[in-house]
């Protein structure tokens, strides 16, 4: 990125060719799934490029099919061309609340909650693309971006074999591991993910591919990588599949009296440091007592008229306002002055139509003692007993629930009569 007066612009190579999104539209989205060899050949150089970036502390953070371009000049009958990653660093410029569905589909659960992306966030995004290549659809879908965000945070993907019965149990397990909500449960490197998929598909990894030996990232990475020329060695990347280091002969020859004291001394030091860090972290945490609040604009007798638009306000406050329902909860924070991100999910009865997002994020500022909330309009489609349930979340944890129950009635029609004079 560069700045020229008040204009910001991004300079990158011109790549003539289609994107992975175009490739998906022409293949998996049409039910024409790529072959096992094509899937592995397609993902191998992409994974190598990601690992190369991660080894140099560069996180993509906005990985999606439109951020992968294929060079038309190198395309063959079985390959769309050599892939090239773009949009490095763009995640720092996007607003989580205004992302289009095309971006939200590939967002990791931790990114969906406002946390900084890590290398395993990129691996999650790559796993979403593998899921889509094998099934023809992303793992989570919804009417609004908020619906999809909520599923990333709390949902479980539909088992891919239920969509494409040709997917083997081993491949399904590989895909589901890459989409684990816990980053630590995912593959440690992108190459480890593709290698596991290759084994599940019973095909060989293209070790001599150009993407593995020398990934071309210089033209699309931030300027800080301009001086990097070291080749990528995938065997240097720690993976769950790496063999355990073998003890040396000298270690094996040493006596227990020499080894055990050292082992327990080192273990004691490690445990002391671990509990010391935990203790200091716990001391730094502050408990905030807050209220989940909500209010609806119903009729005076807790009724709602069919066809009329109403509004629900839901949010967080340090005190419960008189005109809101409120339920208390407590959260632990490191810095009581920094904004907090809360998720608000609406569950309406079947006769209610939400006219806004079902799931919304509230950026709460603890320095503001007043109520802070989001709004969502809704209307009744049919008369009858109705309800609107509001769930509040933070960091994947449920906090409170507020439920509104009311009767939906048909709006009375006004009749007019004409009187003669």
What torsion, rounded to 10 degrees, do the Cα atoms 38, 41, 42, 45 define?
A: 180
In terms of domains, do 61 and 190 share one?
Answer: yes
Report pLDDT for 36: 93
Q: What is the CA radius of gyration of the chain?
A: 27
Helix axis angle, 190-201 relative to 119-135, nearest 10°? Answer: 30
In terms of domains, do 217 and 311 share one?
Answer: no
The CA–CA distances, whole Å, from 254 to 248, 259, 267 equal: 10, 7, 19
In terms of domains, do 313 and 195 share one?
Answer: no
Tokens representing 8 are 């910001």
Tell me whether residue 263 is in a domain.
Answer: no
Tokens representing 326 are 């409120």
Say how far apart CA 375 and CA 169 lie, in whole Å.
44
Query: How many domains does one find in the chain?
Result: 2
In terms of domains, do 216 and 294 share one?
Answer: no
In terms of domains, do 183 and 115 share one?
Answer: yes
Strands annotated E in 220-371 = 286-296, 303-305, 309-317, 325-333, 340-348, 352-354, 359-364
Tell me the DSSP string of 147-165. Answer: HHHHHHHH--PPPHHHH-T
In terms of domains, do 168 and 34 share one?
Answer: yes
Report pLDDT for 413: 63
Structural domain that includes position 372: 286-409
In terms of domains, do 61 and 192 share one?
Answer: yes
Say how far apart CA 5 and CA 284 lie, in whole Å.
42
Report pLDDT for 268: 53
In terms of domains, do 290 and 231 share one?
Answer: no
Say how far apart CA 375 and CA 381 lie, in whole Å.
20
In terms of domains, do 290 and 232 share one?
Answer: no
Asked if 343 and 331 count as a contact pair (C-beta separation under 8 A), the reply is: no
Report pLDDT for 238: 28
In terms of domains, do 22 and 97 share one?
Answer: yes
Report pLDDT for 112: 84
Which residue from 239, 230, 28 is spatially nearest to 123, judged by alpha carbons?
239
For residue 63, the domain's CATH number is 1.10.510.10
Which residue from 110, 185, 193 is spatially nearest to 154, judged by alpha carbons?
110
pLDDT in tens, the chain (421 residues): 455 566 666 677 777 788 899 999 888 888 889 999 999 999 999 999 999 999 988 888 889 998 888 887 777 777 788 888 887 766 655 656 567 777 889 999 988 887 888 999 999 999 999 999 998 888 887 767 877 888 888 888 888 888 888 899 999 999 999 999 999 999 999 999 999 999 999 998 876 544 443 444 333 333 322 222 233 332 222 222 223 333 333 333 334 444 444 444 454 554 455 445 444 444 578 889 999 999 998 988 889 999 999 999 999 999 999 999 999 999 988 888 888 988 888 888 888 998 887 778 888 999 998 999 999 999 999 999 998 989 888 865 778 889 999 999 997 765 444 444 3
In terms of domains, do 71 and 202 share one?
Answer: yes
Whether the full predicted model's pTM is greater than 0.75, yes or no, is no
In terms of domains, do 293 and 230 share one?
Answer: no
Print burial letters for 102-113: b (CB count within 10 Å at least 16), e (below 16): ebbbbbbbbbbb
Choose one of 236, 260, 276: the last residue of a domain: 236
Tell me whether residue 148 is in a domain.
Answer: yes
Helix axis angle, 190-201 relative to 36-55, nearest 10°? Answer: 160
């Amino acid at each position: 990125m560069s700045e020229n007066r008040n204009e910001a612009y991004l300079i990158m190579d011109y790549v003539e060719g289609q994107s992975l999104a175009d490739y998906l539209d022409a293949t998996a989205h049409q039910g024409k799934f790529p072959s096992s060899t094509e899937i592995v050949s397609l993902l191998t150089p992409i994974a190598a490029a990601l690992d190369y970036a991660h080894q140099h502390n560069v996180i993509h953070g906005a990985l999606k099919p439109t951020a992968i371009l294929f060079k038309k000049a190198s395309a063959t009958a079985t390959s769309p061309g050599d892939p090239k990653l773009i949009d490095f660093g763009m995640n720092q410029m996007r607003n989580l609340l205004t992302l289009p569905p095309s971006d939200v589909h590939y967002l990791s659960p931790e990114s969906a909650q406002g946390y900084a992306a890590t290398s395993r966030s990129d691996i999650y995004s790559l796993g979403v693309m593998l899921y889509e290549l094998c099934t023809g659809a992303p793992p989570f879908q919804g009417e609004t971006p908020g619906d999809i965000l909520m599923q990333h945070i709390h949902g479980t993907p539909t088992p891919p074999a239920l969509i494409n019965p040709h997917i083997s149990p081993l491949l399904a397990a590989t895909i589901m591991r890459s989409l684990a909500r816990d980053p630590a449960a995912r593959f440690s490197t992108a190459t480890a993910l593709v290698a596991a998929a290759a084994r599940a598909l019973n095909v060989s990894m293209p070790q001599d591919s150009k993407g593995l030996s020398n990934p071309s990232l210089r033209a699309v990475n931030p300027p800080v990588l301009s001086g990097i020329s070291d080749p990528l060695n995938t065997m240097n990347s720690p993976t769950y599949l790496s063999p355990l280091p073998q003890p040396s002969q000298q270690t094996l020859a040493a006596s227990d009296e020499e080894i055990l004291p050292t082992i327990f001394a080192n273990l004691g030091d490690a445990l002391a440091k671990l509990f010391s860090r935990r203790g200091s972290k716990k001391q730094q945490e502050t408990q905030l007592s807050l209220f989940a609040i909500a209010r609806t604009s119903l009729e005076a007798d807790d009724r709602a008229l069919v066809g009329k638009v109403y509004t629900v306000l839901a949010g967080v406050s340090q005190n419960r306002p008189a005109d809101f329902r409120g339920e208390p909860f407590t959260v632990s924070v490191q810095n009581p002055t920094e904004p907090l991100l809360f998720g608000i999910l609406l569950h309406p009865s079947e006769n209610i139509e939400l006219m806004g997002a079902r799931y919304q994020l509230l950026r709460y500022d603890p320095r503001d003692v007043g109520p802070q909330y989001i709004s969502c309009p809704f209307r009744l489609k049919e008369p009858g007993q109705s309800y609107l349930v509001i769930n509040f979340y933070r960091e994947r944890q449920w906090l409170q629930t507020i439920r509104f129950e009311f009767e939906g009635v048909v709006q009375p029609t006004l009749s007019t009569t004409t009187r003669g004079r």
